[in-house]
Copies of this chain bind each other. A is one copy, B any other.
């Protein structure tokens, strides 16, 4: 058997294996197997500087946007009487890194991802792969089918939307509770107050044991505190 033939067979069987593993996860057999394979390629796989790199970051860029739009429309229709503030909060609860990581984990994407990455897998690689997968599905099927897929197979299967609705999004109180539990002293300080568009504008810092760990800014002190607390929670990896 020729060398080229051997390589051909090797990749063919690799693709076949991927399809075999993907089918139960996706519920369909992908046509553009190379795209779906790319969705699982972490950039750690190709660190060379030559030309276009083969990894999932472009697909992730596309999938992230498409997912955002699908979730926005889903919420817009599901909550016809809620205002923009509620919709924005709900969307960020759904598309935030930790939620996507959990979904990807429950979908079993880690099994595939581990084959295409070097070294230790971080949890954020999971959410990124999920976004890249949405990007691949989008290229294969277009918007409407991807939307149907995301809503039925991902959101409805792996998310409890009503739980999310109830989930505390008072970041300041979550942070205060976490600090109390972990014996840390926490302070919120207005670092700067200025005028923007003739309105007061606040810069608030979060200090834990005297060290500034996050900042937030907005037109109200309360809202700047919430933003700072949210950043602090991300920084501390508190979910």
A residues at B contact (CB < 8 Å): 51-53, 57-58, 60-62, 64-66, 68-69, 71-73, 76, 81, 83-84, 87-88, 91, 122, 138, 142-144, 147, 191-192, 194, 196-197, 201, 203, 211-215, 217, 231, 235
Q: Which of B76, B122, B213 is close to A197, meaning CB atoms less than 8 Å apart?
A: B122
Chain B residues whose CB sits within 8 angstroms of the CB of A58 once the complex forms? 76, 83-84, 87
Q: Is A203 a contact partner of B194 (Cβ separation < 8 A)? A: no
Q: Is A191 a contact partner of B203 (Cβ separation < 8 A)? A: no
Q: Is B83 a contact partner of A62 (Cβ separation < 8 A)? A: no
Closest beta carbon of chain B to A51's beta carbon, Å: 7
Q: Is B72 a contact partner of A65 (Cβ separation < 8 A)? A: yes
Alpha-carbon gap, A192 to B212, bound state (A): 7
Alpha-carbon gap, A142 to B83, bound state (A): 22
Chain B residues whose CB sits within 8 angstroms of the CB of A191 once the complex forms? 212
Chain B residues whose CB sits within 8 angstroms of the CB of A212 once the complex forms? 191-192, 203
Chain B residues whose CB sits within 8 angstroms of the CB of A81 once the complex forms? 51-52
